[in-house]
Amino acid sequence: NLAISFVFSDRIKGEKKESDCFFRLVENLRINLVTLSSREFKPEMRKKGLKLAEKGNPALINHWRNLYHLQVTKVIDEFRIDLIVLAGYMLIVGRDLCHNYPMINLHPALPGGPRGTWQEVIWELIKQKAKESGVMMHLVTPQLDAGPILTYCSFSLKGDKFDHLWKKMEEKLKRKILEKIKEEEGEEEPLFRKIREEGVKRELPLIVYTLKAISEEKIKLKEGKIISEGQEIDGYCLNEEIEKEIKNETD
């Protein structure tokens, strides 16, 4: 059986109303809440490190990440931890934390798909005129979005939900470049918004069914490898379970 021993956030109460709302939910569920503000941790070093990273020198921001996550290790070390699940955690995890705990992360793309934030992923899908997308859970490594894949699910970017939106996008692209559309419409662009909607509805079910698969030993994490039925795999497909869950929610 799996149990949530704590929830960690790199925000503290009062930083954002959205996270404050989430904190209230965590506390109402009587789950331990642990916070350590990344914004308030050595802010000058972080600011300088980000500027240097933009110029191609990531050494200082990597050092800041390692220092911050060293403090994170200290505040979560009192809990028994078999697995850490990252969901909506926007910091790149420090090297030592990756080595100290098995961690899995939600990423809004198919295996081999675009890397980066969910916004970057969607714009890249549009740029590529992708025919499908998905969501995956992968093992966290020091390399961003590059760890071994545990599970994934996919969905089509064609058909009744999408064809008319692609057509409208093609019409826009005859008049202006994609960067201009991104600048003018941003996340409100209809095709962008629909891709996001279809991805979001699969994210929570994928997390839940991934943890279920781990607890039932359908997949195992062993020495940085993903094992199913005694064989190393490149991801366990959960399409059937996820689509059934979505259908049940809409019926």
**Using one digit for the tens of pLDDT, what is the confidence trace for 35-59?**
999 999 999 999 999 999 999 999 9
Mean pLDDT rounded to a whole number for the chain: 92
DSSP 91: S
pLDDT-based confidence at 249, cuts 50/70/90?
A: confident
Q: Are strands 7-9 and 33-35 parallel, antiparallel or unpaired?
A: parallel
- Phi first, then psi, for residue 120 (nearest 5°) are -60, -40
pLDDT-based confidence at 142, cuts 50/70/90?
A: confident
Alpha-carbon span 213 to 67, nearest angstrom: 34
Domain ranges of the chain: 1-82, 102-251
pLDDT attached to residue 8: 95
For the CA atoms of 2, 83, 89, 178, the dihedral, rounded to the nearest 10 degrees, stands at -100
The pTM of this model reads 0.84
pLDDT-based confidence at 145, cuts 50/70/90?
A: low
pLDDT attached to residue 224: 79
